Amino acid sequence: MNDHRQSNEPDGNAASAPQVATQFDVVAPLYDELMTGVPYDKWIGYLQKLLALSNLTPRRILDLACGTGNVSELLAEEGYHSIVGVDIAPAMIAEARAKASQRSLNIDYRVQDAAELDIPGPPFDLCISLFDSLNYVLQPERLQMAFHRVAAHLSRNGLFIFDLNV
């Protein structure tokens, strides 16, 4: 048995989740191959610079819209131990869980809508959402809900690092 955790918690309210939740079903098994040109290591380096500037050493990290878990995996390899990855696409989370299991990485992956984020446990010191992932939240009120849900899950001095295209 490896250290990979798979949540048995409810995965959010499916009735209110947007219909786009299955948009990556077909591409999920191919996603990492399609994204081979993405400089994930440089993104991690940039993230670490931002953390140093903020004088933050996160103990608990939330990777929001984590896809197949590439950033979560790199964070685990950098020595961060308490990482939760969330994505609305079940097929992407299935890929992330399979990769983490194969590599014996202790990353907790969950299928949830960012606008309905509900993760038990202590607050997060850091939430990240990279690669313009929040641009998939097409309804302004749901994006606002996502920001509120992230804020509810952050510690008092927690940091939310994200990027958007406008």
**In the prediction, which pLDDT does 21 show?**
66
Query: Which residue ranges make up each domain of the chain?
Result: 39-162
Query: Looking at the domain 39-162, which fold is it?
Result: Rossmann fold (3.40.50)
Q: What is the pLDDT of residues 43-86, one digit of tens each?
A: 999 999 999 999 999 999 999 999 999 999 999 999 999 999 99
Kindly give the confidence (pLDDT) of every residue in the chain, 166 residues in length, as a single tens digit, with 9 standing for 90 and above: 333 333 333 444 434 444 446 878 899 999 999 999 999 999 999 999 999 999 999 999 999 999 999 999 999 999 999 999 999 999 999 999 999 999 999 999 999 999 999 999 999 999 999 999 999 898 999 999 999 999 999 999 999 999 999 8
Could you report how far apart the first and last alpha carbons of the chain are, in Å?
45
Q: How far apart are CA 126 and CA 115, in angstroms?
A: 17
**In the prediction, which pLDDT does 15 show?**
40
Residue 47 φ then ψ, to 5°: -60, -45
**In the prediction, which pLDDT does 20 show?**
46
Give every CB contact of residue 146 below 8 A, 6+ residues apart in sequence: 64, 114, 115, 117, 134, 137
Give every CB contact of residue 43 below 8 A, 6+ residues apart in sequence: 71, 130, 131
Take residue 52 and report the two structure tokens written for it.
């140093």
Distances 53 to 65, 137, 162 between C-alpha atoms, Å? 24, 29, 16
- DSSP per position, 51-96: HHHTT---SEEEEET-TTSHHHHHHHHTT--EEEEEES-HHHHHHH
Task: Specify the pTM.
Answer: 0.87
